[in-house]
Amino acid sequence: TAISEAVRGVGNPVLTRAGRSLMLLVEEGVGAAAIDVDRSGSIRILESEAGHSDFAPVGEREEKLARALRGAAPFVSYEKVLTLDTRDPVWSALPEVTEIERSRMLAAILGRFAVNLVHCYGAWQGVILTGARAKTLLAGAGRQAFESAFGQRREFTRLLISTPVWRVE
């Protein structure tokens, strides 16, 4: 695996140390896997379709976006939000949001989603982000928006502060 960048923290992912990491693929879909390394060094991987979980909008803009994406569906998933192109016609529901702001908004949503999965999986060893869409979302000001959302004060703040995030190709 070629490391593209440490998004937060330093170093490279270590999958030989006991603990749990999260791999999050953001491409045409969104999937996640917990990578569990036990004390003897054995690795177990638990795949999931975490991207199909319900998107939890924060604030008026995200509420508008969720309503526009939902349409007649009963809910909107994180996958539907995180794979949304910044030029998609659905953004017409938010005419005040520029394309650059859309990118930052989606990167922040990715940050919140990633930190929620860290909580769910107990993946304190770190997050490995991969996929072309992840690369796009973390480009430019997206990286700062991701970091800000990931690092917001919440439960287990001390553990989260030391949780690294890497983007890999």
Q: pLDDT value at position 50?
A: 95
pTM of the model: 0.93
> Which long-range contacts (C-beta less than 8 Å, at least 24 apart) are formed by 116-120?
117/22, 117/24, 117/32, 117/50, 118/22, 118/160, 118/163, 119/155, 119/156, 120/50
Residue 59 CB neighbours (<10 A)? 10
Per-residue pLDDT of the chain in tens (169 residues, 90 and over written 9): 566 788 998 888 888 889 999 999 999 999 999 999 999 999 999 999 999 999 999 999 999 999 999 987 889 999 999 999 999 999 999 999 999 999 999 999 999 999 999 999 999 999 999 999 999 999 989 999 999 999 887 778 788 888 999 999 8
Q: pLDDT value at position 160?
A: 83
